[in-house]
Amino acid sequence: MSESNFGDASEEQVSGAAVLARALKAQDVQYMFGIVGIPVTEIAIAAQQLGIRYVGMRNEQAACYAASAVGYLTGRPGVCLVVSGPGLVHALGGMANANMNCWPLIVIGGSSERCQETMGAFQEFPQVEACRLYSKFSVRPSSIEAIPSIIEKAVRSSIYGRPGACYIDIPADFVNLQVNVNSIKYVECCMPPPISMAETSAVQMAASVIRNAKRPLLIIGKGAAYAHAEEGIRKLVEQCKLPFLPTPMGKGVIPDNHPNCVAAARSSRALQFADVIVLFGARLNWILHFGLPPRYQPDVKFIQIDICAEELGNNVRPAVTLLGDINAVTKQLLEQFDKTPWQYPPESKWWNTLREKMKSNEAASKELASKKSLPMNYYTVFYHVQEQLPRDCMVVSEGANTMDIGRTVLQNYLPRHRLDAGTFGTMGVGLGFAIAAAIVAKDRNPGQRVICVEGDSAFGFSGMEVETICRYNLPIVLLVVNNNGIYQGIDTDSWKEMLKFGDATALAPPMCLLPNAHYEQVMAAFGGSGYFVQTREELQESLRKSLADTTKPSLINIMIEPQSMRKAQDFHWLTRSNM
């Protein structure tokens, strides 16, 4: 090689955007969601050039929700790419949601140029400091050369221990700044999270407590789904003949139609009277009523299994704590029952009590579903939907009554096949989650359908993502269960009558939305199929057509009784009932 040629090679330049993209690729990051603009457009282009899938969204919150759902579904963080200032602020909701749900996520935010700091630069904002409240790791690389090691640490931090969100700040001047290619040292892909196991003595004690239980119950949380613990937990349930109750996103770890599933008995029996409860990746937070009376017996014994030591002992004093990977710890428990086989008597008084309550609740639900009057109620809608849903479909659900009642009727048979408002109770996640699920399904399970069930209020938070769905031609079926309001609304005649007496801002109940809004026209406007349905027959036909058409998305706008409420029960998943 000539001296001049050698000199040219040694001076080859690479941009900060290209370094960032290659560092992400080196860490096996496969998906990026975002909204481009100054100063991050070049980052998205560089990522695409390296084969990272980029999905342009319509709102940063939805982009962040989508990226976090990818983390849950794949075990590797998705990336949310946002512009500086307001773009990053909009993404904070998604970061908080990921952290609360314990899902891996990387947020990359552009920021103002370093030389303009404190001068009132365009969209200047203390981004690294702001993100520390919502993430496990928040940092700005000191140089372009530092980017690969920062990316590796962020990815590692997002998936190790309790998963969560991480933030990386990229100054605008870094994006196009050129550095010598030889100055960049890329970091090898981080190892999968280490597998930790519980102490043997604690496992033995837990097995003993279970054996001595008079009214045992297993609660399966989304932590068990994330840990891929389904095989071990199912074996434990079937081998020991134990009843189990899934949390909302724990549905499907063991199929909902399994004979040992006591979800239909819910908290009115299963939680309230159990004397030993084993928590598989489920936290004693508001969803499980904090583990406290009157939802539970005062002397109930909890066995907690969790990857996070700080979670053990929250709100209660557990009988046994098992710190470790949920899948690994479940296998440790199985070893104890393999050594000394034991079964809980399937004809015990406890099992009979649970079965009676399940039968009673199921009968009440079916009675509501069978009502022929119009408009339809929630149960009628969901029972007809359940009849047609593919067994392996991904169900995304958000809303108030729509989500709460939907989870009691719509079945999940496979793990990690349900996404909903989650631990943070976040509205607006639905379409972002559905888009993420559809993108992942394209790569991992072609042909899988994504069914997104929305309340009309919930749909309004991210409805413009319908354009994103149509732009990428994702065959998502959106069901908008429309009761004209938040929790409940009013009918068209009542609305018109009310407006005769004055301004709607002074007279309309705060929960009301515009009656009979034609949300299906939003889908039709972008090229998808839209259906406005009012009867069971229209619902059945539109859903059949939507599921049969895999070439484009659909939205079915389902009108129900505006005053339709949940079935009266003793307790719900929510600590306080909805209205």
pTM of the complete model: 0.94
List of domains in the chain: 13-183 (3.40.50.970), 200-354 (3.40.50.1220), 371-559 (3.40.50.970)
Angle at 377 between CA 372 and CA 383, to 5 degrees: 80
Q: Note the Cα 385 to chain centre separation in Å.
A: 21
pLDDT digits (tens, 9 = 90+) for 404-420: 999 999 999 999 999 99
> Element (H or E) spanning 236, and its range?
helix 230-240
pLDDT at residue 577 greater than cutoff 70: no
Measure the CA angle with vertex 557, ends 551 and 563; round to 5°: 160
**Mean pLDDT within 338-347:** 96
Q: How confident is the model at residue 567 (pLDDT cuts 50, 70, 90)?
A: low
- Cβ(418)–Cβ(474) below 8 Å: no
Per the DSSP assignment, residues forming a β-bridge with 166 are 106, 137
Phi first, then psi: what are they for 79, rounded to 5°?
-110, 135
- Condensed to tens digits (0 to 9), the pLDDT of residues 26-82 reads 999 999 999 999 999 999 999 999 999 999 999 999 999 999 999 999 999 999 999
For residue 561, which of 504, 492, 496 has the smallest C-alpha distance? 492
- pLDDT on residue 3: 41
Residue 449 has pLDDT above 90, yes or no: yes
Q: Taking a C-beta distance cutoff of 8 angstroms, is the pair 52, 32 a contact?
A: yes
CA–CA separation, 74 and 437 (whole Å) = 10
- d(Cα 152, Cα 163) in Å, to the nearest integer? 15
Give the model's pLDDT for residue 576.
Answer: 45
- Return mean pLDDT, the chain: 94
pLDDT at 179 over 50: yes
For residue 283, the SS3 value is coil
Strands (E), 336-436: 394-398, 418-419
User: How many beta carbons lie within 10 A of that of residue 356, not counting itself?
Assistant: 12
pLDDT score, position 269:
86
Task: Encode burial over 193-227: b for 16+ CB neighbours within 10 A, e otherwise.
Answer: beeeebeeebbbbbbebbbebebbbbbbbbbbbbb
Statement: residue 574 has pLDDT above 60: no
Is the pLDDT at 383 greater than 70? The verdict is: yes
Q: Give me the percent of the chain exceeding a pLDDT of 90.
A: 88
Q: What is the pLDDT of residue 10?
A: 62
Residue 184 has pLDDT above 50, yes or no: yes
- CA 162, CA 98: separation in Å to the nearest integer? 11
Q: Could you report the per-residue pLDDT of 159-177, keeping only the tens digit for each?
A: 999 999 999 999 999 999 9
Confidence (pLDDT) at 177: 95
Residue whose C-alpha is closest to residue 434's, from 456, 391, 413, 463: 463
| CA-CA-CA-CA torsion sign (391, 365, 218, 165) | positive
Please report which confidence band the pLDDT of residue 11 belongs to, taking 50, 70 and 90 as the band edges.
confident
> Looking at residue 573, what is its pLDDT?
42
Tell me the sheet residues that pair with 463.
Answer: none
Residue 64, CA distances (Å) to 26, 90, 110, 194, 409 in order: 22, 9, 15, 27, 29
| Predicted local confidence at residue 579, as pLDDT | 34
Whether residue 237 has pLDDT greater than 70: yes
Residue 254 banded pLDDT, cuts 50, 70, 90 = very high
3-state SS assignment for residue 576 = coil
Dihedral (CA of 383, 387, 391, 395) sign:
negative
- For 212, which DSSP code? T
Q: Tell me how crowded residue 50 is: count the other CB atoms within 10 A of its CB.
A: 13
Range in 300-309, 321-330, 489-498 with the lowest mean pLDDT: 489-498
What φ, ψ does residue 515 adopt, rounded to 5°?
-65, 145
H helices of 135-199, in order, are 147-159, 172-176
What is the model's pLDDT at position 501? 87
Task: Please determine, for residue 461, whether its predicted confidence score (pLDDT) is greater than 80.
Answer: yes
Kindly tell me if the per-residue pLDDT of 575 is higher than 80: no
For residue 268, what pLDDT is reported?
Answer: 72
